[in-house]
């Protein structure tokens, strides 16, 4: 059978109780096939059946699956003679990542397509945070990187933060508009403006490239596979973009990049002589849930792909998933349109395509695997008719899944260690010239292009005479305001039963003594007996802890009763300490405020004070010294 007339079967008629299997010719498939329907209606099964026929018929095809189920299923249908044709791209296979660089070897006449595709993908994912300034800077960043050999997606953030790398890239730019932006605009940004303008881009792109799963794929400068070669040599590209394993945003961005790359590869066929172009094989691209990967540039693919023998087979669930531009391109360029059961809103839109044969009510009431379609036949769309999609194809007796996977990994993947090593070297700074101290001349040491820097281990920079050692800044504590020297009360604060009173006298306020054991309200306050005996009671106590009441009044321990001499001497010592502070009260004496949980000295009785007025001053000083040093 002629290649143009080769039929791909996908449904059978159901009118008048006649079941006749039918399909679509290869030439008509270049007008694209579009299907829509609610989940679980049979859309994916229809795509699977068509893809299996392409695989078994020796056609070139690519299948982008955001769920992973179909991508895994297709491996069981690989014939033995096509094992070598399979490229299985699973981003979650982190131990053996496949490299994919959408920025690799893009000609000057197609760079705008890559920029447009990436910008549309970024804008769709980060629509809520998108801004004109962000788009302007990112667009010029991508345009500059596309002219730099070996550039990858990792270069976006590096362009914005690494001045040396940015200079190398800008020096290589030939496009006058892009060059003008970096030389005349960005270079004159103030630090403050740059700090406001660039972090939004760094944050968004960083979320994508900082993930090791994605970084090891898009961070390699050389792609593992050539899409143009896949198309011309009828290879099988199966892409498992399972959102549960890759992440929704990562899957959507990778899918959009792959669609853009496939479109660029198809466009590159324009350099082939028209006579030879006709002889090039068709290439069939299947995209399940295509709205996840469709952006504004997808409209161009639908309108231009047919010229370069690229056929799109796309499906999704409801119309509102498509942007307005994509929706217009789909309904304006798709040759074969298939609808499963849809919601009422979609049915009203689709009714215009299937009227007058079918109404919106008919479309809403379709059963499982039942479809209405307009089929492209020899370049002309048929009248709408009903049909039923084919049941899933039975699995072959022999499966070459493992052989296909192993050969694909061996041919197109690298080990994780090798990939991360290459990315580390790309990130590393260049070596500076080294000075020979003996000859006092500058000589260049032969080193690799980049220095290896372990990702999880910091390596100290190599110092040369061209590098100044960092100056350690010594920060001095600010000088406190001058204050009158205060007697040392630390020991008293820690241990003495008189801590509250003496601290009040010396510092002009009461200080809560945290070192003493404070009892609950209504209980006696306990203090160390040793300190109590030294400071007030005198003599060796018979027990380790005595109460404050005992020390002040001596009711339970007559041997430890405070004598009038000691009490008076202590009072004089306190008064002397008070005299060293400026007292704010009018009477010239410190006033004692009542505060909770503070220890106070009981006032001595008149009898205790009698006859002690002539006590020498030295006794008071000595007593205070003992208390302070105790």
**Which pLDDT belongs to residue 298?**
78
Question: Which position has the higher pLDDT, 141 or 509?
Answer: 141
Distance in angstroms (rounded) separating the CA atoms of residues 492 and 512:
12
Q: Which residue has the tokens 């100290």?
A: 460
Cβ pair 106, 264 in contact under 8 A: yes
**Which pLDDT belongs to residue 574?**
67
- Positive or negative torsion for Cα 321, 327, 331, 336: negative
**Which pLDDT belongs to residue 294?**
80
**Which pLDDT belongs to residue 304?**
87
Nearest residue to 285 via CA among 108, 124, 47: 47
**Which pLDDT belongs to residue 520?**
40
**What confidence category does residue 506 fall into, taking pLDDT thresholds of 50, 70 and 90?**
very low
Cβ pair 258, 292 in contact under 8 A: no
Q: Residues 6 or more apart from 232 whose CB is under 8 A from it? A: 60, 280, 281
**Which pLDDT belongs to residue 123?**
85
Over residues 464-482, mean pLDDT: 48
**Which pLDDT belongs to residue 579?**
61
Alpha-carbon distances, residue 360 vs 15, 107, 355, 372, 529 (angstroms): 20, 47, 9, 11, 98
Which of these ranges, 79-83, 101-105, 233-237, 573-577, has the smallest mean pLDDT? 573-577
Over residues 483-494, mean pLDDT: 45
Q: Residues 6 or more apart from 242 whose CB is under 8 A from it? A: 65, 66, 67, 68, 71, 92, 251
- Positive or negative torsion for Cα 546, 547, 551, 555: negative
Over residues 289-318, mean pLDDT: 87
What is the bridge-based pairing of β-strands 385-389 and 7-13?
antiparallel
Nearest residue to 270 via CA among 306, 237, 222: 306
Cβ pair 584, 543 in contact under 8 A: no
Nearest residue to 118 via CA among 39, 28, 209: 209
Cβ pair 262, 284 in contact under 8 A: no
User: Mean pLDDT, the chain, as a whole number?
Assistant: 77
Burial of 279 (0-12, 13-18, 19+ CB in 10 A): exposed
Structure confidence by residue, pLDDT tens digits, 356-410: 999 999 999 999 999 999 999 999 999 999 999 999 999 998 999 999 999 999 9
Question: Which position has the higher pLDDT, 168 or 429?
Answer: 168
Distance in angstroms (rounded) separating the CA atoms of residues 145 and 482:
62
Over residues 269-282, mean pLDDT: 89
What percentage of the chain carries pLDDT values higher than 90? 43
Structure tokens at 216: 């090891």
Structure confidence by residue, pLDDT tens digits, 543-552: 444 444 444 4
Distance in angstroms (rounded) separating the CA atoms of residues 538 and 530:
9
**Which pLDDT belongs to residue 217?**
92
Half-sphere exposure of 503 (CA within 13 A, CB side): 22
Distance in angstroms (rounded) separating the CA atoms of residues 48 and 46:
5
pLDDT surpassing 50 at residue 629: yes
Report the residue count for the chain: 630
* DSSP-based three-state secondary structure for 11: strand
* DSSP-based three-state secondary structure for 9: strand
**What confidence category does residue 206 fall into, taking pLDDT thresholds of 50, 70 and 90?**
confident
**Which pLDDT belongs to residue 291?**
86
**Which pLDDT belongs to residue 110?**
87
pLDDT surpassing 60 at residue 336: yes
Over residues 564-569, mean pLDDT: 65
Q: Residues 6 or more apart from 175 whose CB is under 8 A from it? A: 143, 147
Helices marked H in 413-532 — which ranges? 416-427, 490-495, 499-507, 529-532
Half-sphere exposure of 524 (CA within 13 A, CB side): 10
If one looks up domain 1-98+229-399 in CATH, what number appears?
Answer: 3.40.50.300
Cβ pair 60, 234 in contact under 8 A: yes
Nearest residue to 86 via CA among 401, 396, 538, 442: 401
Cβ pair 209, 83 in contact under 8 A: no
Over residues 240-259, mean pLDDT: 91
Nearest residue to 365 via CA among 344, 349, 350: 344
Other beta carbons within 10 angstroms of residue 629's beta carbon come to 10
What percentage of the chain carries pLDDT values higher than 70? 68
**Which pLDDT belongs to residue 79?**
95
Helices 617-629 and 564-579: crossing angle in degrees, nearest 10, is 80
Rg of the chain (C-alpha set) = 43
Which of these ranges, 209-218, 240-249, 346-355, 605-614, has the smallest mean pLDDT? 605-614
Q: Which residue has the tokens 């109590």?
A: 532
**Which pLDDT belongs to residue 309?**
93
Cβ pair 288, 66 in contact under 8 A: yes
**Which pLDDT belongs to residue 591?**
47
Using the CB atoms, write b or e for 152-170: b if 16+ within 10 Å.
bbbbbbbbbeeeebbeebb
Segments making up each domain of the chain, as ranges: 1-98+229-399, 101-222, 490-582+597-629
Which of these ranges, 22-36, 208-222, 421-435, has the smallest mean pLDDT? 421-435
Q: Which residue has the tokens 């694909």?
A: 408
* DSSP characters over 466-493: TSPPPPPPPPPPPPPPP-------HHHH
Distance in angstroms (rounded) separating the CA atoms of residues 22 and 371:
13
Cβ pair 416, 94 in contact under 8 A: yes
Distance in angstroms (rounded) separating the CA atoms of residues 354 and 363:
9
pLDDT surpassing 50 at residue 326: yes
**Which pLDDT belongs to residue 600?**
42
């Amino acid at each position: 059978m002629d290649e143009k007339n080769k039929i791909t079967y996908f449904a059978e008629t159901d009118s008048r109780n006649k079941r006749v299997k039918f399909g679509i010719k290869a030439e008509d498939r270049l007008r694209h096939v579009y299907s829509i329907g609610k989940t679980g209606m049979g859309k994916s099964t229809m795509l699977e059946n068509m893809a299996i026929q392409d695989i078994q018929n020796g056609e070139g095809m690519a299948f982008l699956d955001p769920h992973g189920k179909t991508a895994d299923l297709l491996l069981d249908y690989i014939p033995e003679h096509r094992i070598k044709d399979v490229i299985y791209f699973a981003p979650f296979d982190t131990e053996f990542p496949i490299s994919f660089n959408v920025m690799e070897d893009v000609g000057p006449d197609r760079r705008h397509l890559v920029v447009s595709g990436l910008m549309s993908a970024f804008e769709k994912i980060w629509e809520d945070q998108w801004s004109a300034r962000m788009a302007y800077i990112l667009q010029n960043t991508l345009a500059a990187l596309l002219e730099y050999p070996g550039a990858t997606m990792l270069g976006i953030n590096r362009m914005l933060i690494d001045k040396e790398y940015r200079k190398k890239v800008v020096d290589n730019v030939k496009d006058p508009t892009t060059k003008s932006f970096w030389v005349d605009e960005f270079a004159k940004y103030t630090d403050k403006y740059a700090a406001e303008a660039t972090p939004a881009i760094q944050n968004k792109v960083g979320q994508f490239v900082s993930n090791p799963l994605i970084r090891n794929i898009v961070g390699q400068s050389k792609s593992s596979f050539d899409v143009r070669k896949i198309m011309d040599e009828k290879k099988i590209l199966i892409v498992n973009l399972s959102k549960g394993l890759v992440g929704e945003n990562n899957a959507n961005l990778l899918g959009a990049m792959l669609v853009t790359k496939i479109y660029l590869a198809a466009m590159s066929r324009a350099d082939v002589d028209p006579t030879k172009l006709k002889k090039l094989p068709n290439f069939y691209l299947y995209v399940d849930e295509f709205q996840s990967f469709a952006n504004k540039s997808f409209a161009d693919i639908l309108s231009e792909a047919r010229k370069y023998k690229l056929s799109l087979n796309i499906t999704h669930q409801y119309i509102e998933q498509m942007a307005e531009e994509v929706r217009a391109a789909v309904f304006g360029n798709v040759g074969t349109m298939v609808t499963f059961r849809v919601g009422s809103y979609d049915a009203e839109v689709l009714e215009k395509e299937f009227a007058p044969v079918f109404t919106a009510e008919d479309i809403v009431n379709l059963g499982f695997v039942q479809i209405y379609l307009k089929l492209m036949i020899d370049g002309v769309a048929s009248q709408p008719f009903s049909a039923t999609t084919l049941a899933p194809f039975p699995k072959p007796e022999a499966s070459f899944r493992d052989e296909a996977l192993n050969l694909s990994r061996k041919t197109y993947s690298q080990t994780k260690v090798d990939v991360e090593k290459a990315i580390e070297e790309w990130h590393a700074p260049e070596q500076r010239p080294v000075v020979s101290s003996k000859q006092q001349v500058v000589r260049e040491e032969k080193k690799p292009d980049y220095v290896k820097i372990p990702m999880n281990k910091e390596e100290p920079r190599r110092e040369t005479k061209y590098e100044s050692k960092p100056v350690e800044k010594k920060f001095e504590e600010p000088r406190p305001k001058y204050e009158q020297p205060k007697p040392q009360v630390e020991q008293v604060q820690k241990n003495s039963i008189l801590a509250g009173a003496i601290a009040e006298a010396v510092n002009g306020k009461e200080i809560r003594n945290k070192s003493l054991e404070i009892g609950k309200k209504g209980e006696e306050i306990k203090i160390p007996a040793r300190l109590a005996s030294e400071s007030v009671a005198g003599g060796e106590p018979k027990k380790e802890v005595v109460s404050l009441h005992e020390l002040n009044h001596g009711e339970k321990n007559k041997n430890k009763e405070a004598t009038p001499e000691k009490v008076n001497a202590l009072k004089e010592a306190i008064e002397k300490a008070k005299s060293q502070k400026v007292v704010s009260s009018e009477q010239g004496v410190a006033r004692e405020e009542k505060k909770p949980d503070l220890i106070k000295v009981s006032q001595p009785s008149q009898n205790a004070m009698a006859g002690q007025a002539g006590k020498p001053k030295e006794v008071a000083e000595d007593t205070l010294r003992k208390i302070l040093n105790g």
